């Protein structure tokens, strides 16, 4: 099955990139603070996985699902997985949801470079 990569015109979601500052608190425990990095970036969004009952968990008398999403964005050196630990120090925020990055990869095409990002969001009622 061929991978379908969205065109530039399909980037219709304005997404805020959050940058983590890698630090420690007063007790020496890891502490990451998240801040918005500049302007929003136009990305395309698609589902990475379908409905999977095993990806859900039952807590507080309600179901909570993990939602995995694939994003395509223009190349930015600040999101290049060869230059930055993207899963550790970057997150995406779209609307009211924050998406934890699972992995990222560079894509190169005749018309330029893109970055593909896999994220996971946990949602609950």
Cα separation of 62 and 58, whole Å? 6
Domains in the chain, ordered, with CATH?
A: 10-123 (2.40.10.270)
For 110, which DSSP code? T
Cα separation of 71 and 100, whole Å? 12
CA distances in angstroms from 103 to 67, 76, 91, listed in the order given: 15, 15, 11
Cα separation of 119 and 104, whole Å? 9
pLDDT at residue number 105: 96
Residues 52-97 pLDDT 10s: 444 555 555 555 556 789 999 999 999 999 999 999 999 999 998 9
Its pTM stands at: 0.75
């Amino acid at each position: 099955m061929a991978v379908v990569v969205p065109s530039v015109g399909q980037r219709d979601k304005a997404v805020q990139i959050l940058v983590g500052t890698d630090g420690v608190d007063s007790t020496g425990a890891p502490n990451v603070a998240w801040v918005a990095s500049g302007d929003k970036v136009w990305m395309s969004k698609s589902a990475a996985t379908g409905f999977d009952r095993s990806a859900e968990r039952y807590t507080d008398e309600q179901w909570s699902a993990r939602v995995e999403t694939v994003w395509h964005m223009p190349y930015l050196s600040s999101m290049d997985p060869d230059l930055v630990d993207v899963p550790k120090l970057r997150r995406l925020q779209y609307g009211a949801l924050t998406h934890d990055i699972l992995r990222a990869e560079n894509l190169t095409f005749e018309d330029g470079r893109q970055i593909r990002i896999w994220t996971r969001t946990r949602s609950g009622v």
